[in-house]
Amino acid sequence: MKKFFGILLAATLAFGAVGCGSTTTDEDTNGTETTAEGTTIKVGASPSPHAEILYAAQPLLAEQGITLEVVEFNDYVQPNLALDTGDLDANYFQHQPYLDQFNADNGTDLIALGAVHYEPMAIFAGTSSDLAALPDGAKVGVPNDGTNEARALLLLEANGLITLKEGTGVSATKLDIEENPHNLEIVEMEAAQLPLSLGSLDIAVINGNYAMSNGLSIADALAKEEADSLAAETYENIVAVRNGDETRPELVALMEVLNSQDIADFINNTFEGAVAPVFTVAE
């Protein structure tokens, strides 16, 4: 069934197949090391900040003779399906817990090539603008996928709105809410829909990329994850590839560029704290 939907997805999105002829290897048949020069790689990404960071990487990869094609997605499912079916060489939109859950749910074998950045999840105002004065029964929007819902619930707990059962941590669901003094109604929905639904919610906990792509500023958030929070340690955004592709020279080059000082400077100068590089640039 997974393969059927993968094929249907590929046809719908009209992706060009990434054939073996465009992929270099570490050694040719004579045992001579090859390079990635003249290679095109196709990488799926959320529009912001992931695609923006990839666009900044394009000229740096071009200097090595590698063409980077960026394919933008507006959800958290299609990029992994497209990677699994071979329509992408890599994707860049998710954190490790989400990838682990996706593999478990879909029977895929995708792995992290490396981490690039962290973006704090934040609480944004809907019809209510004061966390201390939320009405009883207030509607609180959270992402409906397991890992991001847990992250949202941890942020609500950190701000005194709910209490979770001890030890649930990054596996928490709304069923793990132990105390809910204001009888908040936790409304689960697709993460991409949360910014668009603020008019029907009191507040919403929104992923950084969807907040930015919908014109929401972290500076206007009612609360956000702190740099020393469990989430900051857990939810670094990664580049994912198919298991076995991690040594492809062009993908190694992609990761090296994304972990370069040029990209660190771009992230820091462009996103003003809403996105932070998590890698250390070698001296």
Q: pLDDT digits over 131-156, tens only?
A: 999 999 999 999 998 888 999 999 99
Q: pLDDT digits over 164-177, tens only?
A: 999 998 889 999 99
Greater model confidence, 59 or 230:
59
Q: In this structure, which CATH number among 3.90.1640.30, 3.20.20.70, 3.40.50.300, 3.40.190.10 belongs to the domain 122-225?
A: 3.40.190.10
Is there a contact between 62 and 41 (Cβ–Cβ < 8 Å)? no
- Sequence spans of domains, the chain: 2-119+235-277, 122-225
Strand 39-45 and strand 90-95: pairing?
A: parallel
Q: What is the pLDDT of residue 169?
A: 87
Q: What is the pLDDT of residue 36?
A: 72
Can you tell me the distance from the alpha carbon of 164 to that of 12, in angstroms, rounded to the nearest whole number?
41
Residue 71 has pLDDT above 50, yes or no: yes
Can you tell me the distance from the alpha carbon of 221 to that of 250, in angstroms, rounded to the nearest whole number?
39
Task: Enumerate residues 6+ apart whose C-beta is below 8 A from 251.
Answer: 41, 89, 90, 113, 241, 245
Q: pLDDT digits over 241-264, tens only?
A: 999 999 999 999 999 999 999 999
Q: What is the pLDDT of residue 2?
A: 39
Can you tell me the distance from the alpha carbon of 279 to that of 283, in angstroms, rounded to the nearest whole number?
12
Q: pLDDT digits over 179-216, tens only?
A: 999 999 999 999 999 999 999 999 999 988 889 889 99
**Cβ atoms < 10 Å from Cβ of 60:** 19
Q: What is the pLDDT of residue 283?
A: 54
Concatenated DSSP letters of 230-245: HHHHH--EEEEEETT-
**Least confident window among 7-16, 65-74, 81-90, 141-150:** 7-16
Q: Average pLDDT of the chain?
A: 87
**Least confident window among 26-30, 81-85, 210-214:** 26-30
Is there a contact between 146 and 267 (Cβ–Cβ < 8 Å)? no
How confident is the model over 230-246, as a mean pLDDT? 91
Q: What is the pLDDT of residue 9?
A: 38
Strand 139-143 and strand 185-189: pairing?
A: parallel
- The CATH number assigned to the domain with range 2-119+235-277 reads 3.40.190.10
Of the chain, the percentage scoring pLDDT greater than 90 comes to 70
Q: In the structure, what pLDDT confidence band is assigned to residue 35 with cuts at 50, 70 and 90?
A: low
